[in-house]
Each structure stands twice: as structure tokens, then as C-alpha cells.
Structure 1
Amino acid sequence: MEKNKTIFSQFQTEHYIFAIFLLLIIFSLYFSLTSPLTKAISKNETIYGLLLGCDEVAYAKHADTIIVFSYLPKEKSLNLLFIPRDTRIESTVPRGNYFRNKRINEIYAYYCRQEGNSQAPASFKKVIEEFLSSEEKQIVIPYYCQLDYSSFVKIVNLLGGIPIKIDKVMDYHDSWGKLDIHFEPGEYILNGKKALEYVRYRDESGDTERTVRQQRFLRSIFAKIKNPLLFFRLPLLLKEAVAKIQTNLSFWDLLNLSSEVKNFSPDNLRILYLPGRPDSNLWIPDKGKIGPVTELLSVSRLEEIKPEEKISTEETVLPTVTAEVWNATEQQGLALRMTRFLRRQGVDVIKWGNYGEKKQSTLIIDRTGDLKKTEKVKSIFPGNDLISNIEPERMVDVTIILGEDCLKDKKILK
């Protein structure tokens, strides 16, 4: 009799477990099918969002990192538009002239004080929409995520650290902001604290170099996430995300996005930079050039570039591409040698010379947004950083800043 009760009890337990599992599947399907984000992914519609990385000080919270992203599900392509935190803005949302000539991160601090941390991202999103919109095109950003420093540290630690190669000495001390950063050149596995220092570091090069570092960091994160062993940490990562991130994405949306990330290639990541110029401690945006940049948010980096059109560095046929080449190494005459090499590849180099400062890594800068031309040049420099900073007045399609790494290429040094 006792044995029969035990068997019956086990039978009930198994049925309870099965019922709970079945309910989870039903809930997952229901929330997935009713989610606007999931519907957009299934229809291959471009998904727009706002990412905010925020500092933590006693009297205010500022947006230290501001990124508008677009994800194209069909191409599995991700575009990131970096907006410098010191960008001057003349928004009138929502208090008339109050926001005229303000730093963009000061506006976020205002919303945090007035509405609280939970409501600030939604209000700030409207400011970004107005800032990027024009009479010809209205920018609508449905989603937002705001991550503070402590959550960033925890998430990186849950990922097991992020591998990064550092090219030069990084030294920064800010007693007021309680920030001390020091890295020697070399290869690192950065834990959460060190990863935060790496992405926050700024030097005399300003936000451009910082953006390049953040691009490398993101590429490394995407490569790390593709590790199958991280599947078992996914519940902890999502738990941390739901608990700490201020977002209008649901748990099921985050779960769906995590499955998309598994199929994402870092090669399909494109970095866009807000056009403008530095002025003292401000970044003055060029409103006339913002439109072409926002247009690129709806285009895949590899769109219309068919596999058979990609060439190796041995080929000599390229579409007409104009470029400028700058030597950021101690090797005399490198810019001229690179100019001759690129001309043999069909690239029309119209300007070359010395850059004025030394760099370890070569940087490719898209100046017009012409994807096909940029990718053709990028194929000559595989593995190097590429950003889009639209400046048509430079009269070139691409800027190439030569770093020490290109000295290892024997084809160039012939």
C-alpha cells in the first residue's frame, strides 16, 4: 500500500512538472506572438532603439554614452549611431527655451531630477527623436534601454570577462569624478570594473577614439556571446537585465533579442558618428549632414554588396573610389608607398601626408555613406576598424589613417 502511494506521489510530481513546463511554453508563445518587437522581427522590419550608459554621482545622473541603434533582422545587421555626450542641442521639448544651447547629457540629468530614473529614458527618447528628425523624415524610436555603471560591471562579470587588445598606454586621473584609469599595451581579459574603465577612457583625441574603442569592445562582446557555454548563464544575464536596466522591453522581448544575437556576426556591425565639429568643450552638430546619416540607419552595412563583388587585395579592378591617406607611424614615406599600392588596386588617392600623431591600429573612415565603395576599401584592410563620419566637403569617399599594424603587410612595403 505504501509503495503504491509512493508511485502515485511520483506520478503526480512528474505531472506537475510537465504542467508547469507546458504553461511556460504557452506563456512564451503568447507573449512572443503578441509582442510588437517579435512581430517586427518576423516581418523583417527595421527595429530602432536608444541605448544609454549612465554615470552615478551624488547630485545627478548623466548620460555618458548615447547610442541610437537600428537592427535589420533579414540581414542580421546592426547600425550604431554614437551621439557625443557633449553635443550641443537646441531642443524645445518640453519647456520652450529652457533647453537651448544645452549639452545633451545635461538634458538627461534634468529629466532624472524632475521625473525620476525610471521615467527619464522615455522622456529623453523624445528629445533624441526631435533632434534627429527633419522636415523630410521623422525619426521614431520605439524602444530604449538605460544601463548604469554597476549593472554594466555585473553583466561583464557574468559573461566571464571580455578579451581586448590595448594598443597604447591609457592614463587618466579625475579626482572630482573619482576615476583612475591605467592600462599598458597588451592583451587583456577585462573584468567588469576594468571594462568600465576601458569604455569610459577619454584622451586628447576626444570622442572619436573613444567610439573606436567602444566599437572594438562591442565586437568582442558579440564574439563572446556566441560561445555555446554562455547559454547556461542566460537566465542570470536576463535576470540582471530585467532587475537593473530601465527599459520598455519586456522579459520576453529580451529573450527574443538574445536568440537574435546568437546568429549575429560582428562583421555586420557598422558604427556611425554624429557629424559636427568640436568647439571648446562642446560638439557642435552639423544639422545639414544629420539627414544622410540617419538614412544609413535603415540600410544594412552589407546591403547590395553581393558575395561575388567582394574582392581580395590581389585584384586590381575596383569601382572609382577616392581616398586620402595619412601616416600615423614613425615610418618615413609610408603614406606615399600606400598611395602607390592603393592606386594599383584602383583606388584614386588624391591626398596623402603625415597625420600628426602616432597610432597602433589602422582606421578606415567612411566620408560619404557609400556602402559599396567603403566595403571595397575595407576589404584591403581586413580586421581594421571602420566608422562612418560623413564629411562630403573633404571631397573623398574614404579616409585611411595608417597605424603601426600595416607595417607588417609585406605587399605594401615592396
Structure 2
Amino acid sequence: MIVPTSTRRIHPAWWVALVAFLTAIGAAGFRSAPGVLITPLHAEFGWSMGLIGSAVSLNLVLFGLAAPFSAALMELLGIRRVVAGALVLVSVGALLPVWMTASWQLILSWGLLVGLGTGAMSMSLVATVTGRWFVARRGLVTGVLTAAGATGQLVFLPLLAWLAENHGWRSAAVATATAALLVVPLVLWRFHNHPAELGTTAYGAPVGTPVAAPPRPTRNPAVLALATLRDASRHGVFWLLVGSFAVCGMSTSGLVGTHFIPAAHDHGMPQTTAASLLAVVGVFDILGTIFSGWLTDRFDPRFLLALYYTLRGASLFLLPSLFSDQMHVNMLAFILFYGLDWVATVPPTMALCRIAFGDRAPIVFGWVFASHQIGAAIAAAGAGIVRDQLGTYDLAWYAAGALCVVAAAMCVAIRERPAPSLRVTQEAGSTSA
């Protein structure tokens, strides 16, 4: 029986958004782990920072490259199945290092398994959920769901650092695996694939909107994802988004997220203190990303991005002078500011994808997000090599700051208009389906 939306006390879109938020939190536990475990792994196995960074690098690459294919797979199999399977994969990959004895096992588990699993729950999931379930408040919900990763970091980082320091890094790996697995029942219970499953429409949809799910694609998900890449790559806006978002990945999860703790430790700061500072980044990231979503509903996303990248670059130029063996006011100011800017770039970037590429936006954004993770992977490995060769991370901070200025210029150059050929391709594909 169809239940009119107006009779529901809470629109089901909000329940789906809540489960998506909790799913991202569950997956975020592992993404918090590398920064905490780099130093213990280096101490126990004697592996270089560059080698450990390469495992993180592979994880970041696959985390991004899996995104467009998972978005296409969600169209074929549904969100619920893909996300539940991904959480199980993350749990297995996070637990296997407990028994590892060689570096290739670290690369297999942290790099391959968890990279693929978390990639299925990346920003393409946010694009799919907001695209299917929301018309009104889409930018705000995008900001909230993006902030889920920061919330996971906030919840897990201090705990993982405490476990690693007091009970060994293996206890932190077990906690991460458990957290991801606990979310699976909730996904199977409440993560509905489309409003039509419940006989309703997306939140804020105009009155009279048909209550019907779009036809599932008949093409192989990999073919659909690659065809979307082919069509999107013909437009300059795609490459400007790819380039700027690659810099976003370099300057956040790849560099600061992976190497801030060991860099602070180089200056004598206790690891638990440095982890707590990154957790504070997570607190302000939540506020900054939600506020960025609110701004995206009201202002030109191109100029929001230019502002975010410029301010981020300036803060990275200052960071090397702020490290010391203890917490101080200037470092706290950096943490506050950097937290507000951490993933504030996601809502306006996703909005530009939606404007340019219409219904194909979730898959296109998956490819744009892949560039984010490739950039992050380059920074994760590159900064480790810089540290091994020079004995300091300073050059990595300065290089990332300069690239942020370049990214700001790329965002200003974007022309905010649809890409008609991609829309035509999608219309033809839907008709054939």
C-alpha cells in the first residue's frame, strides 16, 4: 500500500541519510588507523616510512578507483547489497594484519581489501543517496554525510591511539574491524534503495512527481562506469574538477591525515597528543562541511572552492613553523582552521558535477573522487619518501600549499553549465534499457 509522504511523521529519506551517516562512521575507523599505526609498525617490523606509506597509498588509490564502479554497481544491485558487502570486506581487511609477518601482507590487507571495501562507501555513495532521496536540502545533506568521515575520525582516533600505545597496535586493528562489522545489520534493516520501494517520492520533490524507480541499467556496471568516464572526459569542466580534487586529496587525507602524527612525533610530541589534535580536526570538520553544504545551496560553488583552497594553502605554508614538543595556542588555531576547511570542498564539487552531468553525476563524481584518492596516494607515499631522504616533512608541507593555490585558480576557470552530450548519452542508455 502506498503511504502518502504527508502522513509520515518523518520522511524515510532522513532514515536513509542516518544509516548512510552511520555507515560512513563505521568505515572511517580504518581510515583513521594508518596515521596511528605507522610508528608502531615501523618500530616492530623495521619497515621504512616509505614502505608503510606505499600500503596506505594503494589503499587510497583503490578507495578512489572503486568509487565510480561501485556507483554503477549500486544502480544494478541496489545500495543495500553493495554497502553491506563492502563493510564485511573492510572488516576482514582490517583484521588480517593481526597475523601478518611480511610487508606484502600489509599491502594486501590495508591496500587491496580495505581499499576496495571503503571505496564502495566513498563519496559516490553520498552522491547516490542525495541524488535519489533528496531534492530540497540536498547541499546540506551532502555536507552532513561528508562530515560522517570526520565524525568517525573523532570517535576512533583517540581510542585507536590509546589502544595502540597501551595494548599494542593489534588491539586497534581488532577494534576497527569490529566497528565496521557492527554496522552491517543496520544497513540490511534500514538502507532502502529508492523512494519507490516505500511508495513515496524524494524529500522535497514537487507534488505530482511519479512514484516509480528508474529502470535498472542492463549494461555491465564496469562498462557503464567506463562509458561515463569516456563521455565526461570530453568536457573541460571534468578535468578542472579532477585536477582540483586531486590537490584536495593530496593536502588532506594523503598528507595531513597520514603523516601529521609521525611529523609531530618527530618534534617530540607524544603520539596520543598528536592523535587528539587530529580528532579535534574532525570536530571542526563536521561544522565546516555542514556549513559548506548550507553555503552551496546559496552561493556559486566555484568561488567557494577557490576560497577554500586558497585558505588551505596559506595554512600549510605556516604548519612547519608550528610543530613543537607540546601543544600551544598557535597549533590549536591551525587545527581549528584546518578542520573547518578539511572536506568543505565536497559539497560544492558535487554540486558542480550535478550541474554539468545531470543523472550521471554520481558516477562522474566517482571518477572525480578517484582523482582525489590518487592525489592522496601520491602524497602518502611521497611524503614518506621525503621524510626518509631529508629527515623532515617540511618540503611536503610547502609543496602541498603551493598546489592548493593552483587548485584555487582551476576552480575559478570552471564554466558553470551543463554538458549536453553526456545527458544525451544517458537518455539514450535509459531508453535502450
Which structure: greater helix fraction? 2
TM-score (norm 2): 0.24
Structure with more contact order per residue of length (Cα contacts < 8 Å, sep ≥ 6): 2
TM-score (norm 1): 0.25
Structure showing greater Rg = 1
